[in-house]
Amino acid sequence: MVTVPPERFTDRVAVVTGSTRGIGAGVAKRLAGEGASVVVTGRTREAGESTVDDIRDEGGEAVFVRADMREPDDIAALFEATVETYGGLDVLVNNAGVETNTGVAEATMDDWEFVVETDFRSFWLCAKEAAARMDEGAIVNTSSNHAFLTMPGMFPYNAVKSGINGMTRAMALDLGPRIRVNTVNPGWVAIERTLSEMSDAERREIESIHPVGRLGKPEDVASAVAFLASEEAGFVTGANLLVDGGRSAVMQDGTLPDYRARRQGRSESGRSSRAGAAPADEPDGEGRE
């Protein structure tokens, strides 16, 4: 049971992008539970209004502003609406994110633009809009443990998440000391989309490779975000905080293809295509062990 600290965000205003469901909704609810007036935003009005209703049912304050993070005009309007509604801005949580489950070779320009514009460019544009309206404050960028370790078929998501870590450092230098900027890097989190993609057996296996023995919850990430956004982290900026149940401390190769078999297959292909170029019992460089 997580004990929520006294209202660290009383009289503070927070924008949480991608907060209609999942981790973002958990963050919005946590900040509102600690006293913040929260702007919930995303592309789906019904889901956003549901998150607002949940916050208000618990006695919190929130509004929904629809915005597509791929549209710069929507982003500018989001922050204008925030100041019009609440009179200022103190916290930005850049959380909007998508992925395509494609590899380097099969990813298309559409895949690239979809992920980069949503997960990366919007973080920069939101930070610019927020900084122009903040006297002092904090920005928390949501990245992933894929920024440190990754798996096949996650491009360009994994590249963008690494980029977010670098963006955070740049923002911390350029916006400090007025605004602190940090990154939270979640791992496996039990949200509806993630759970729908795995069987019970797969979930048990994934839980077993986490040192904490379970998947994360949106509340786990929300606790880390709330800390980084609060004055308790007043001497923390430009940092990356892993929230992945120790997963990144584990060396586990079950998700990888058999690279040795790939190497052997490439060697055999190379020999057959150059038949007669060298005797079969002489190494030609390609197949040398």
Among the residue ranges 19-33, 94-108, 116-130, 208-222, the one predicted with the least confidence is 208-222
Which helix (H) or strand (E) is 240 found in, with range? strand 240-243
Among the residue ranges 2-11, 28-37, 126-135, 250-259, the one predicted with the least confidence is 250-259
State pTM to two decimals: 0.85
Q: Could you write out the DSSP letters of every residue in 12-74?
A: -EEEETT-SSHHHHHHHHHHHHTT-EEEEEES-HHHHHHHHHHHHHTT-EEEEEE--TT-HHH
Within 13 Å and on the Cβ side, how many CA atoms surround 270? 13
Between vectors from CA 116 to CA 109 and to CA 88, what angle results, nearest 5°? 150
Choosing from 157, 215, 221, 245, the catalytic residue is 157
Q: Could you write out the DSSP letters of every residue in 60-114?
A: -EEEEEE--TT-HHHHHHHHHHHHHHHS---EEEE-------B-TTT--HHHHHH
Look at residue 176 and tell me whether its pLDDT is greater than 70.
Answer: yes
Distance (Å, rounded) from C-alpha 156 to C-alpha 88? 35
Residue 284 is predicted with a pLDDT of 34
Look at residue 160 and tell me whether its pLDDT is greater than 90.
Answer: yes
Distance (Å, rounded) from C-alpha 130 to C-alpha 9? 17
Distance (Å, rounded) from C-alpha 190 to C-alpha 126? 27
Residue 102 is predicted with a pLDDT of 96
Task: Based on the residue annotation, tell me whether 86 is a catalytic residue of this protein.
Answer: no
Residue 81 is predicted with a pLDDT of 98
Name the fold adopted by 13-249.
Rossmann fold (3.40.50)
Residue 198 is predicted with a pLDDT of 75
Residue 197 is predicted with a pLDDT of 74
- Sign, CA dihedral 183-187-192-196, equals positive
Look at residue 42 and tell me whether its pLDDT is greater than 70.
Answer: yes
Please report, in angstroms and rounded to a whole number, the separation of the first and last CA atoms in the chain: 55
Within 13 Å and on the Cβ side, how many CA atoms surround 169? 5
How does the average pLDDT of the chain come out, rounded?
88
Cβ neighbours around 79 below 10 Å, total:
23
Per-residue pLDDT tens over the stretch 141-153:
999 999 999 999 9
What are the boundaries of each domain within the chain?
13-249, 257-289
12 sits in the region (left: phi over 0; alpha: psi -120 to 50; else beta) called beta
